[in-house]
């Protein structure tokens, strides 16, 4: 199997005034790989995703997608390059129906659809994420997991090369969590390239090929979920020193 | 199970023209045909009121093209309107009237483009204040230019264009605005605008160049306001900055559009007609109470009908449908 680098992050930093939120991060994500980005609260995971998706401008460093630089590009151009995302706190388009919310991702993104094609593609992803039959509903009437499904569908519809899931499972109850993990697993077997930010370790273990652990904005470990979760430094980052 | 949603009535909006759009188009044609008969019936007070209503219909509808979906409240209408008027006032001796209309359209679009690039990064109240200040700035500049370069503070606009012609020209412009609005609503541009109005971050992350879309729409809206000013210049034989760049105009346009409902193409006109009639009555009978009426209109918009008459109608229509389906 040939290894193709989908995303390469080199020495990326972000500081807000004097605060360094992301500190010299360097890592790669291979095509078809599912990478978990984990770390304690405030370690800079979401900021890292925001830098990749163009939500925030990076202070220094390089970001590349399939060998082409997207460093410093605006969010809309990065989206067109094939990076889609969901948000930590779901962002719905409140005045629109489920269908329009999903279609919104498929008109201007990586693959662009319109008219009958958009119609067909929207139907497909709505079914895929399990929203079938709810497409005419206003999004405000949806349950939390269904809103999360809408966001996932909106990211999927343009068939992006890389999807960033920012705590997509957070806030779900145990039963919904099971459904959610199954859904992401399906994406994994579809061969999608994903970066997952998550706190729920069981999900990380079952979903990720590889994990990157952040603490205070910097990378402290990288490897298989089993490896990094038994790494003493990672344990220390999460739980503090034994003899503290 | 699923087919029920897609078969028959619920089709995806922007494919082909639906039956509803066809009815809308026919209704529109009939209303325009009836409205164009007005100068044949009355050429005095009625026509004058008709010109005012047509003018505010064009201004409010084109204002809502941009501000309806994006929720950016622009108070710069008077700047575009006044510039259009001055293009005609200043160029009448050099160019024929139709050319001046085109120049006004161009000048309006260019000005809107500059304002857009400079300000659309501002959000909410900052944008509102900036546009108001900008309209004032342009008025001051024009006044200053006239008194230093010219001899008087105003310009004479002497043409043989009578009120009847102005009225018909405005109707044509209004039809044009509705066609543009209809086209935008069913195009990708309109879809992008609605997404931006809902959540600009989601729009950007869906691949929409939000700045470009907003500037484009602002240019369309500004250009139309400038043409309106150009068409109305012959109505006054003498124009000066206080008439052409009246801030009251900007406020009235916003209020009328919001009272009617800025989120639908034909919303603003439902605000313009009643408001213009009442406004006319009040300025004639109680000229000192106009500010009071503005205040009441503002309160009405904020407390009673946040989505305008159209929103009110839609609310009760939805309730009626629930009731009907239950019965």
* B230 phi/psi in degrees, rounded to 5: -65, -45
Given a contact cutoff of 8 angstroms between Cβ atoms, the answer to whether B252 and B272 are in contact is no
End residue of a domain, out of A112, A141, A159: A159
pLDDT tens digits, B105-160: 999 999 999 988 887 677 778 888 988 898 899 989 988 888 887 767 778 877 78
CB contact under 8 A, B205 and A95: no
The verdict on A74 and A167 lying in the same domain is yes
Nearest residue of B to residue A158, measured between CA atoms: B206
The verdict on A2 and A114 lying in the same domain is no
Given a contact cutoff of 8 angstroms between Cβ atoms, the answer to whether B47 and B39 are in contact is yes
- The domain locations on chain B are 26-326
User: B5 contacts in A (CB within 8 Å)?
Assistant: 133, 135-136
End-to-end CA distance of chain B: 24
Contacts of A5 (CB under 8 A, 6+ apart): A28, A29, A30, A31, A64, A66, A67
Query: Which candidate from A79, A105, A136 shows the least CB-CB separation from B5?
Result: A136
CATH level 3 topology of B26-326: ABC transporter involved in vitamin B12 uptake, BtuC (1.10.3470)
Given a contact cutoff of 8 angstroms between Cβ atoms, the answer to whether B59 and B230 are in contact is no
Query: Which candidate from A91, A119, A154 shows the least CB-CB separation from B15?
Result: A119
Q: Is the pLDDT of residue B11 over 70?
A: no
CB contact under 8 A, A93 and B198: yes
The verdict on A116 and A227 lying in the same domain is no
User: A73 contacts in B (CB within 8 Å)?
Assistant: none
Full-model pTM: 0.86
User: A85 contacts in B (CB within 8 Å)?
Assistant: 205
Q: Is residue A29 part of a domain?
A: yes
The verdict on A140 and A64 lying in the same domain is no
Q: Is the pLDDT of residue B52 over 90?
A: yes
Structure tokens at B30: 């009939």
Q: Is residue A87 part of a domain?
A: no
Pick B295 or A108 by higher pLDDT: A108
Q: Name which of A51, A76, A89, A126 to mutate to probe chain B: the one with the most chain B Cβ atoms within 10 A of its Cβ.
A: A76
User: B264 contacts in A (CB within 8 Å)?
Assistant: none
Using a CB–CB cutoff of 8 Å, tell me whether B62 touches chain A.
Answer: no
ipTM: 0.91
The verdict on A115 and A133 lying in the same domain is yes
CB contact under 8 A, B195 and A104: yes
> How many domains does chain A fold into?
2
Residue B271, CA distances (Å) to B51, B64, B259, B319 in order: 16, 12, 5, 23
The verdict on A193 and A236 lying in the same domain is yes
- Looking at residue A49, which CATH number applies to its domain? 3.40.50.300
Compute the count of residue pairs across chains A and B with CB atoms less than 8 Å apart: 86
Residue A231 is predicted with a pLDDT of 87
Run means of pLDDT, 10 residues per run, chain A, 244 residues: 83 91 93 92 91 93 92 93 93 92 92 90 92 88 91 94 93 89 92 92 90 92 90 84 58
Query: Which candidate from A93, A110, A114 shows the least CB-CB separation from B202?
Result: A93
Contacts of A7 (CB under 8 A, 6+ apart): A28, A29, A52, A63, A64, A65, A83, A162, A193, A195
Range in A51-55, A122-126, B71-75, B77-81 the model is least confident about? B71-75
Q: Name which of B1, B14, B207, B307 to mutate to probe chain A: the one with the most chain A Cβ atoms within 10 A of its Cβ.
A: B207
Residues 4 to 23 of B: which have CB under 8 A from any A CB? 5-6, 10, 12, 14-15
Range of the domain at A60: 1-82+161-244
């Amino acid at each position: 199997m040939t290894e193709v680098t989908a995303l390469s992050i080199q020495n990326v930093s972000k500081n807000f005034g004097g605060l360094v939120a992301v500190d010299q991060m360097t890592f790669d994500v291979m095509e078809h790989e599912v990478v978990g980005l984990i770390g304690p609260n405030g370690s800079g995971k979401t900021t890292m995703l925001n830098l990749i998706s163009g939500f925030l401008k990076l202070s220094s460093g390089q970001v590349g997608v399939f060998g082409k630089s997207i460093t410093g590009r605006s969010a809309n151009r990065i989206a067109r390059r094939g990076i889609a995302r969901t948000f930590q706190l779901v962002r719905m388009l409140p005045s629109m129906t489920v269908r329009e919310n999903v279609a919104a991702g498929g008109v201007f993104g990586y693959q662009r659809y319109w008219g009958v094609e958009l119609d067909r593609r929207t139907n497909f992803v709505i079914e895929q994420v399990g929203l079938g039959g709810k497409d005419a509903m206003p999004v405000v009437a949806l349950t939390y997991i269904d809103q999360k499904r809408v966001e996932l569908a909106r990211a999927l519809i343009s068939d992006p090369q890389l999807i960033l899931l920012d705590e997509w499972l957070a806030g779900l109850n145990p039963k919904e969590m099971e459904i959610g993990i199954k859904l992401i697993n399906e994406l994994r077997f579809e061969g999608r390239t994903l970066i997952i930010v998550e706190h729920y370790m069981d999900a990380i273990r079952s979903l990720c090929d590889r994990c990157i652990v952040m603490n205070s904005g910097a990378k402290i470990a990288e490897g298989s979920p089993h490896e990094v979760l038994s790494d003493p430094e990672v344990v220390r980052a999460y739980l503090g020193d034994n003899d503290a | 199970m699923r087919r029920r949603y897609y078969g028959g009535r619920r089709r995806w909006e922007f494919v082909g023209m639906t039956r509803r759009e066809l009815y809308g188009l026919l209704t529109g044609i009939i209303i325009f045909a009836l409205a164009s008969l007005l100068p044949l019936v009355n050429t005095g007070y009625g026509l004058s009121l008709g010109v005012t209503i047509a003018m505010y219909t064009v201004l409010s509808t084109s204002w809502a093209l941009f501000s309806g979906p994006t929720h950016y409240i622009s108070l710069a209408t008077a700047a575009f309107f006044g510039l259009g008027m001055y293009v005609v006032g200043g160029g009448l001796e050099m160019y024929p009237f139709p050319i001046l209309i085109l120049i006004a359209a161009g000048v309006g679009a260019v000005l809107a483009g500059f304002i857009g690039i400079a300000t659309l990064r501002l959000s909410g109240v900052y944008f509102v204040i900036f546009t108001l200040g900008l309209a004032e700035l342009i008025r001051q500049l024009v006044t200053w230019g006239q008194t230093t370069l010219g001899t008087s503070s105003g310009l004479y606009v002497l043409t043989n264009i009578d009120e009847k012609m102005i009225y018909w020209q405005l109707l044509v412009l209004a039809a044009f605005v509705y066609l543009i609005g209809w086209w935008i609503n069913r195009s990708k541009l309109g879809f992008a605008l609605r997404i931006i109005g809902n959540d600009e971050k989601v729009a950007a992350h869906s691949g929409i160049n939000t700045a470009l879309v907003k500037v484009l729409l602002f240019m369309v809206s500004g250009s139309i306001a400038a043409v309106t000013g150009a068409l109305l210049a012959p109505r006054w034989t003498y124009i000066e900055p206080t008439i052409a760049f009246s801030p009251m105009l900007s406020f009235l346009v916003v209020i009328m559009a919001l009272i009617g409902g800025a989120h639908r193409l034909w919303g603003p006109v439902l605000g313009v007609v009643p408001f213009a009639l009442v406004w006319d009555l009040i300025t004639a009978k109680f000229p000192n109470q106009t500010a009071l009426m503005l205040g009441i209109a503002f309160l009405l918009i904020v407390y009673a009908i946040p989505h305008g008459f159209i929103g009110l109608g839609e609310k009760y229509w939805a309730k009626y449908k629930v009731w009907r389906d239950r019965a």
